[in-house]
Amino acid sequence: MTQKLSFGIAGVAGRMGRQLVSTALEAGHQVAGGTELPDSPDRETDIAVLAGRADPIGVMPCTDPVDAAADAQVWLDFTAPQATLAALHALRHTPVSAVVIGTTGFTAHQEAQIAAAGSEFAIVKAGNFSLGINLLTAMTRLVAARLGEDWDIEISETHHRHKVDAPSGTALMLGDAAAEGRGGKLEQLRSAPYDGASAEREPGKIGFAVRRAGGVVGDHDVSFASEQEVLTLGHRALDRAVFAQGALKAAEWAMTQPPGLYDMEDVLSLKDISV
């Protein structure tokens, strides 16, 4: 039987927040508290009811992560970069020892702040918590390592119309893996968007294409194209529950680890997959 944990969950009225509450309760874990913005219309609603469950659990959203995590072992955060960083700071004053971060859209400076917090918490941070996408990431690294620069790498993604950051955290994760396979860093290998009169593709660069449409949960493709053939690896998320289930798996794993910054490939032991 898996270990039963006590969670503090950020942004409990959000799409992922509701899903995390629902999946955690479904799995028999405890949700000790949750946060929302002060002006959220959902502040007066029990977080289990917000998550679509029939029975309330007597926990209302609060605004302070210290209150929400007062009885929590693990913090789950799928909100927005500033909110996640503020919570990481506040969690020092709570019993929380493990943090799962699904928020995307951090700047390089914010990423460095999260890495620093890895000295205090076991943090699992991933642009995507699904098994399929993490396998796709490992395969992307492997294929990129096998194919030379005459194969153009293009990553495309589609998400729902409410998504704020672009390209998606998952697309960037796939880009990092492709760059790593090529022995470089995405910062150097990322192509500028193709737009305008002089938008030619530079050899060896990794390109991104973004679409925002309706209610799409998340589609990602990685194409490797030579003059003669195209190899495309793709993934489609059908339900947000897949991210929440992955986040819970990450939480259980993080509880067994020393402080540090980890990703989902660590959780799933996919780092060993090599050419």
Measure Cα distances from 131 to 58, 213, 262 in Å.
33, 24, 15
Measure Cα distances from 209 to 110, 166, 272 in Å.
24, 9, 29
Cβ proximity to ligand NAD: between 35 and 152 the closer is: 35
17 binds ligand NAD (CB under 6 A): yes
Q: Which residue is nearest to ligand NAD (CB)?
A: 14
CB of 272 to ligand NAD, least distance (A): 22
Q: What is the largest CA-CA distance in the chain?
A: 62
Helix 81-90, helix 108-117: angle, nearest 10:
20
Residue identified by tokens 């503090």 is 8
Q: Which of 97, 103, 137, 158 binds ligand NAD (CB under 6 A)?
A: 103
Q: Which of 73, 79, 97, 137 binds ligand NAD (CB under 6 A)?
A: 79
Q: Which of 59, 117, 126, 178 binds ligand NAD (CB under 6 A)?
A: 126
Whether residue 33 contacts residue 60, with contact meaning beta carbons closer than 8 Å, is answered with no
Alpha helices per DSSP H over 99-198: 108-117, 131-146, 169-181, 186-189
CB of 197 to ligand NAD, least distance (A): 33
Q: Which of 7, 8, 9, 14 binds ligand NAD (CB under 6 A)?
A: 14
Catalytic residues: 159, 163
169 binds ligand NAD (CB under 6 A): yes
Q: Please list, in sequence order, all residues whose beta carbon lies within 8 angstroms of the beta carbon of residue 89, skipping any fewer than 6 positions away.
A: none
Q: Which of 31, 80, 123, 138 binds ligand NAD (CB under 6 A)?
A: 80
Q: Which of 5, 9, 16, 72 binds ligand NAD (CB under 6 A)?
A: 16
72 binds ligand NAD (CB under 6 A): no
- Nearest residue to 99 (alpha-carbon basis) of 128, 124, 126, 66: 124
Helix 241-254, helix 15-26: angle, nearest 10:
60
105 binds ligand NAD (CB under 6 A): yes
CB of 161 to ligand NAD, least distance (A): 11
Q: Which of 35, 134, 137, 191 binds ligand NAD (CB under 6 A)?
A: 35
121 binds ligand NAD (CB under 6 A): no
33 binds ligand NAD (CB under 6 A): no
206-245 residues near ligand NAD, rule: CB under 6 A: 243
Cβ proximity to ligand NAD: between 182 and 218 the closer is: 218
Whether residue 266 contacts residue 244, with contact meaning beta carbons closer than 8 Å, is answered with no
Measure Cα distances from 59 to 23, 31, 197, 201, 226 in Å.
16, 8, 56, 53, 56
- Residue 166: CB atoms within 10 Å: 16
- Nearest residue to 122 (alpha-carbon basis) of 259, 274, 275, 264: 259
Cβ proximity to ligand NAD: between 73 and 84 the closer is: 84
104 binds ligand NAD (CB under 6 A): yes
Binding positions for ligand NAD, rule: CB under 6 A: 10-11, 13-17, 35-37, 40, 78-80, 83, 102-105, 126-129, 169, 243
